[in-house]
Structure 1
Amino acid sequence: MISVVLAAGLVLAGVPSGEDTWGSDAEATGEIIRTNLWEAERERRTREKDQPDPEKRLAEYLRSAYCARAGEESGSGAVLPCGDVPADDDLPECDDAGVLEPLLRRTRATPATPWGPWYVLSDWACAGDLVPAFTAADFRELPLAPPALHVQPARGQVLVHMPTIVYSDDAVQTLETELLGYRFEVQATPSSYRWDFGDGETVTTRTPGRPYPAKDVAHAYRSTGTQRVTLTVTWTGRYRVAGAAGWQDVDGTATTTASTPDFTVVERRSRLVTGTCDDEPDAAGC
């Protein structure tokens, strides 16, 4: 995609530095008002959010091709919305997202007074440039929930030298977040699972394992003691502006970590008994 270089800065003669120029009578001074794509769109979204009732707004916005408007009554730089599109050589070269029409603005002093003339707030640009990139840093800031971590047997004790089964799930998480005024839908998908069994042994898998009788992810402890399993899941993501059709991949990954409660690795020896554990629940091995 080839970016468009737009006029930088907002040119408003006679307006003190630091004052809010939105809805001011700057247009009446006859100055040409142009700012960059981001600032223009942020202004529009902010103003329309602050005043949702169009009848009460002091600034109105329109995306349209424009024609120069001559005459002292309109002021220098005023324009009219029109259908005159520049030649292709004068338009930015954009990808499949297409070309974005200029954003025009006009203002009025009060809801009861007439609208002033239209001015160009931002010029022709690529539609794809309007949407901010959703970065790996943004992805890592999302409140991803660690998937559930299960251990079998699940009674707080496991047997030494016997397989201890662990498993999780591969559920996709869908979240929404806001970035620079845009609502984003984000889908996070587990891509790998790193199992730390607490005794120095680790294993990384592409799948989350399954419960007994499957033994996809299992570990035999070689000594007794207290242990815990820690699972670190690596997530890949994709995103889109809420309601849009196309998804884009996040350029990076995120991780979540979860641990089991402590459990005890024990040793059990077989013994001959005269009855069952139902008959003698306190007998050795019951």
Structure 2
Amino acid sequence: MNHFITLENLDLSLIEELIDDAISFKKKKAFPNLSNRYVSNLFFENSTRTKLSFEMAEKKTGMEIIYFDAESSSVKKGETLYDTVKTLNSIGVECFVIRHMQDRFYDDLITKIDVPIINAGDGCGDHPTQSLLDLVTIYEEFGTFKDLNIVIVGDVIHSRVAHSDAKILKRLGSSITFATPDFWRDSSMTMGTYTSLDSAIQNADVVMLLRNQNERHSKQYDEKNFLDLYGLTKQRANQMKSSAIIMHPAPINRNVEIDGDLIESPQSRIFTQMTNGVFARITVLNYVFNS
């Protein structure tokens, strides 16, 4: 039994194995058998892609889903996350996929709950399954991570995707550049350099855009002019190498961080990321039960 809470504590050889497994599941359409295993997806923040791709992965592996709705649960009566998880575990749930607004919500759970905990996003901290699907997408495209120029664009300080992806891609040998307004810089993110998108775009192999996380902002910014000042416009995209790709974890603020016409352009891999999310999460479910 394994937890899956961050990629930081995993050896690179294991991460490479997980990438290979996800690609294999995608190609062969043959999935591990997890029938008669009971899983519950506890999402305390809104989600479309992560939640539903986990559900698809669970159904493809034959798992039984015990549905949970935070808005109609005893959480509204003051029940703690631990007590919610302990309750569901007591009635037979064998695995928890959890998204929570608290950074490192899992610290208390993994010492007290003896079933797999999968981190589906913790506050502004980490998003390991998104990172895995991003790695799968990049590896499918380039066959390597070494010496790739990865430009991460936008709301770095609030983005668990930026935190997860930058750390693992640096470990795998990529060069990281952050292109973000000064007010969204994160001083703890020392694995890359900061510059403007105009300066970084020509050498980028991957332009990884981030959603502007308005729900986490304490100060307002000029959204009307954000695309022209900081986002991926068609003019900036024209400066990209022909081999470069565009990524975004979604949901997308169209015409804010990216010009709407680029979302399904030939260089975009945004919907490929979503497809790969199912196979990455099948891989994670197999890992926590069978490794």
Shorter-chain TM-score range: under 0.3
Higher RCO (CA 8 Å, separation ≥ 6 residues): 2
With structure 2 as the length reference, what TM-score do the two structures score?
Answer: 0.21
Could you say which structure has the higher helix fraction? 2
With structure 1 as the length reference, what TM-score do the two structures score?
Answer: 0.21
Larger Rg: 1
